[in-house]
């Protein structure tokens, strides 16, 4: 697979990474560990060198899974993980916490779970309104100086927060939601990233599965699937948003591709420093996503998509109100 550099950081990764959250958390029961390890290792065999996890996924289980899966070829991959939350006794998130001592503790624990001596990319998972971003960036800067971390990242951070952090410690990458059905980053975020030389790692590049065409208004989700509380996944919203999936299916048919592949190829075509991280628990979906890196959308293709999207209004908020409050804008 072709490689991309995240901004001007010098961090080279595969053009498509693997978001590992869903193997342990978020979309229903966790994948059996042997199957999850096999999927991660298959991704590496197919050229994926960029793997994304977080202490919050499980919590802790996903980091441990990734550490075991990637141990045989640790030096050949880039591992990204995240800090920024407290957890209660039941493993639920109990508020944000990016205090310097917490960041240090999370780093030390993550290193053990990941079976490594350095974290390639350490993101603040969400901006903590109670801790100045300068203190966060300064703490990660110190961890980089100590050799525990290689690069600093932010997630769902606003333009001014990015600038303030970058002034203390260069930000290698921003990870935020971006896809054909969530294009808000184009307004302020992408111009700032381009100006500062910061890479962009879109999560949910397939709209949490919706853009694949595998979800309809009649789909039911597992009781543990967080999409049950997402307004954009209400039955009414899914019905209204089907027009976007139909558009993708039409374009995909002309390109002899799938809707998911077109959605990923569209992201790759936006900027050379964008690296999406689709997640999956299925080997055939992994292969499908990886093959998207081989699809080239022409200027005519991109223009057709843009014109068609202008006629479609996506319905439903991307987060329920209590989670939207955590997004720094």
CA angle 60, 127, 115 (to 5 degrees): 25
Structure tokens at 123: 């993101």
Active-site hit among 27, 57, 123, 178:
57
Report how far residue 26's alpha carbon sits from residue 13's, in angstroms, rounded to the nearest whole number: 25
Q: Partners of 18 in the beta sheet?
A: 51
Helices (H), the chain: 33-45, 61-70, 100-113, 133-145, 159-168, 189-196, 235-255, 259-270, 283-291, 299-309, 321-324
Q: Are strands 3-5 and 93-96 parallel, antiparallel or unpaired?
A: unpaired
φ, ψ of residue 97 to 5 degrees: the values are -155, 100
How far is the CA of 189 from the CAs of 147, 178, 312, in angstroms? 30, 11, 23
Q: Quick one: CA dihedral 317, 319, 322, 328, positive or negative?
A: negative
Rg (CA), the chain: 19
Q: Which residues contact 286 (CB under 8 A, 6 or more apart)?
A: 18, 39, 42, 43, 46, 280
* Backbone dihedral region for residue 264 (phi beyond 0: left; psi -120 to 50: alpha; all else: beta): alpha
The candidate with the shortest Cα–Cα distance to 13, out of 114, 170, 120, 123, is 120
Identify whether 123 is a catalytic site residue: no
How far is the CA of 274 from the CAs of 56, 106, 267, 298, in angstroms? 24, 27, 7, 17
Residues recognised as catalytic? 57
């Amino acid at each position: 697979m072709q490689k991309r550099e995240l901004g001007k950081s010098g961090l080279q990764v595969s053009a498509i990474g693997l978001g590992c959250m869903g193997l342990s958390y978020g979309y229903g029961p966790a994948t059996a560990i042997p199957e999850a390890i096999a999927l991660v290792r298959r991704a590496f065999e197919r050229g994926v060198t960029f793997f994304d996890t977080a202490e919050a996924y499980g919590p802790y289980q996903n980091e441990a899974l990734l550490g075991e899966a990637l141990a045989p070829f640790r030096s050949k991959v880039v591992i990204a993980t995240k800090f920024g939350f407290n957890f209660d006794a039941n493993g639920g998130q109990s508020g944000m916490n990016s205090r310097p001592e917490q960041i240090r503790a999370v780093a030390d624990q993550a290193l053990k779970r990941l079976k490594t001596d350095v974290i390639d990319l350490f993101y603040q998972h969400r901006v903590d309104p109670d801790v100045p971003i300068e203190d966060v960036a300064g703490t990660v800067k110190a961890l980089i100086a100590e050799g525990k971390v290689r690069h600093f990242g932010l997630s769902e951070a606003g333009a001014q927060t990015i600038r303030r952090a970058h002034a203390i410690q260069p930000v290698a990458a921003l990870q935020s939601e971006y896809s054909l059905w969530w294009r808000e980053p184009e307004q302020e975020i992408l111009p700032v990233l381009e100006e500062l030389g910061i890479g962009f790692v879109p999560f949910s590049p397939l709209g949490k599965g919706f853009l694949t065409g595998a979800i309809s208004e009649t789909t039911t989700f597992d009781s543990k699937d967080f999409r049950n509380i997402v307004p954009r996944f209400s039955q009414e919203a899914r019905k209204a948003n089907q027009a976007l999936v139909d558009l993708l299916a039409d374009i995909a048919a002309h390109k002899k591709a799938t809707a998911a592949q077109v959605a990923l190829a569209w992201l790759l075509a936006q900027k050379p420093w964008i690296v999406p991280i689709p997640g999956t628990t299925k080997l055939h979906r992994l292969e499908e996503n990886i093959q998207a890196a081989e699809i080239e959308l022409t200027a005519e293709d991109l223009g057709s998509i843009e014109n068609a999207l202008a006629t479609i209004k996506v319905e439903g908020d991307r987060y329920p109100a209590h989670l939207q409050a955590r997004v720094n804008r």
